[in-house]
Structure 1
Amino acid sequence: MSTTGTTGTDDEAALVHRGADLLRFATAGSVDDGKSTLIGRLLLDSKTVFEDQLASVERASRDRGDEYTNLALLTDGLRAEREQGITIDVAYRYFATPRRKFIIADTPGHVQYTRNMVTGASTADLALVLVDARKGLVEQSRRHAFLATLLQVPHLVLVVNKMDLVDFDEEVFRRIRDEFTDFAARLEVHDVQVVPVSALEGDNVVSRSARTPWYEGPSLLHHLENVHVAGDRNLVDTRFPVQYVIRPQSGRHRDYRGYAGQVAGGVLRPGDEVMVLPSGLTTRIAGIDTADGPVAEAFPPMSVVVRLEDELDVSRGDMVCRPHNAPTPTQDVDAMVCWMDESAPLAPGRKYAVKHTTRSARAVVKEVQYRLDTDTLHRDESADRLGLNDIGRVRLRTTTPLLADEYRRNRTTGGFVLVDEATNRTVGAGMITSA
């Protein structure tokens, strides 16, 4: 899923390799629910904001006539760029506490930017869905919660914001919590936390607030610091898509041949028996190297170079896996697709380029099985095409077999993007349901 700007994937791999605890989370919510203010509060209270930045925000707040420091202005620059039509899919923010490092994917709240929310949540460990306590759940709240579960984001937090504007009424919070819990039960969400906050005044954002004595849960930051995400990665199915072949060179590296890429699943160790697809040949791992030297094991999302004991024909797009636990090579793919192109719909007979892990292919749309109403979860089986921001189940036929898993099992080997070959634009994001 294409974005402009840095997504932090390389930084994440480096942090994981060094043993740092890192959480990627996406923020979502309807317009004016206080998302930017909440991000500003987290940045400020984690002391990630420089003094000159804070002074600039304070001056801008005074110039606007605000009686308080408008923390939303910390992210207003990027939002203004979006309003000017500059292509920014997702704005990424970084901050850290002594316990954990964080990457925030700040996604737009407008309904026409649903595709951008999909981009931001596609790599998230956790999704924050904000609602205004005065309005309760709205269509965008349900839509974003559904998209987060569709993208297999394992942890979901409903942030009931602006509690100060309803006098921290426990009944208001309980009503919204119960309504959302009932809705989430239909989505098969395994971990849901609901937190009442005032992003403007800081209640329950970093510390528990005395104004909500009826709330017994953690503050938002405490939950973000302590939510367990290490077990969310698939460490059972070994998947290593080869991105680049490091060939022998002159000098002391003349005998070196390795295969670079990012571990997508499982654990790799020297001595392990592995199979290379699509050839099906087997060998053993001779060693695993990183920029900091050899390592005893590699796991997602580490970027490493794998050396093999035998000289096999391995190239970009091939997959290293276990002999008895391999992905399914397939040319017929059923997938949920989020359509991102406003110029032309996805329809049967249309042809696109497919990017799946490090493998490229071409595909033709064989069938649109149904379009999904993200508000009611109703399947419109009469739909024969997908328009901008539509989500539906589609059947594709590819020219080259994809080495695929179901998306619910592995988000890397189960996801792909569709590219318009004429314009080179990313026009769709897919999640494989069966291969």
Structure 2
Amino acid sequence: MDIKLSDHFTYKKMLLFAAPTIGTVLIAITYDIIDGYFVSNYIGKTAFAAVNVIYPLQLLLSVIGYMFGTGGSALIASELGRENKERANQVFTMIVKTAFIFGIFLAALGFIFLPQIAELMGATPSIMEYGLPYGRTLFLFLPIMIVGYAFQSLLITAEKPHYGFYLSIANMLSNIIFDYLFIVEFGWGMVGAAVATGIGACINGIFPLVYFSRPNSSALCFTSWRFEYQTLLETCSNGLSEMVEDMATSLIFVFYNIQLLRFMGEDGVAAFGVVIFVEGIFTSVFYALALEANSVVGYHYGAKNYDELKNLLKKGVILNLFFGILMYFTAQVAAEWVAELYVGYDKTVCALAIEALKAFALAFILQGFNSYASAYFTGLNNGKISAVIAFSRTFFIQTAAIFTLPLIFGAESLWVCQAVAEFISATVGVALLYRYRKDYCGNKFFP
């Protein structure tokens, strides 16, 4: 089925349009899972803990790509909705080129200051031994990683979401092959794991650069451009919520690791690594629906099609709540199997991972709703409100919970901190959607 941004979206069309992105994210998470499997089973649990300490830092910098991609997609989709394709191509070109330049700058900073940053993140000497070579190798690939993250959203706006899916398949296959070669056969250890990940990032970033540099069948292509400060500012403002959400998530991982090392030691960090991999798989649906909303809502907002905006809000909320409940029950059933797969060689860590995953799963119920509400406002070019939802959800409330709940209820309460944040943030999201119903959805909350 050929689906366009201008279409009326039914539940079926929303899922079909999001399906390639769901597949893309699932595969992206899969090769992270593969990394974790090889590192945990062939290098050891301390190395696995090191990945979970260092990787959030790299992710923290990579979210610049999400900011450019989601913020730029809203602007580009609005221009396409106004049938101003040349202007859309100019904005598209500037965003991609600027993202790469930012990547070079951030990679240099990360490479130089990684030891000091890792120490601030609470890394123990044994974790530093494994984490520094892993992190510094990853930073060499950061510029192309940032561009690849930006294209996750931009490919949807270009009406080619399935290309991202194909690239992710190639990325996953290369990661499996090179993880096995570099870690198992060549014995390169953590450097091998990082190089395998970096090669995959090159696939995600370089192919779209080549594709959009030539005449193509998508809605976008590279063209002549000039740097526009105001357009960049609007892009960053629109994408601020997504950047804040992803950046806050990375910082939250750091805070979790600090508290877990304090209360449970390296076993706690290893158990948390299992939880994060499962969360990544489950929330791929939420992420895909949010990216879809960003582009589709942006198009219909530019076209002033308010009936479709109401339709997208209603159906998006219902779909996210349905999948959230489904994922909660799935986590309860699958917890033991997943823990055995990753850390079955250590019964203490395995038992801890099972307990953690079952408790953490409460967060899935409303996580999709909060993510969709934030993305919906981004599509409406209201980055400030989007950021309020994202930041309250992923940073303020959860940070407070991480540092206070263990003091009151014990270390095990760390596993429900995100659930507390999601439930409180959902009330904020509902209030803001109601507050702006006349501006964006007419006089009714739902059609």
Q: Answer whether TM exceeds 0.5 for this pair.
A: no
Structure with more strand by fraction: 1
- Structure with the greater relative contact order (CA < 8 A, sep ≥ 6): 1 or 2? 2
Between structure 1 and structure 2, the one with the greater Rg is 1
Select the structure that is richer in helix: 2
Task: Please give the TM-score of this superposition, normalised by the length of structure 1.
Answer: 0.28
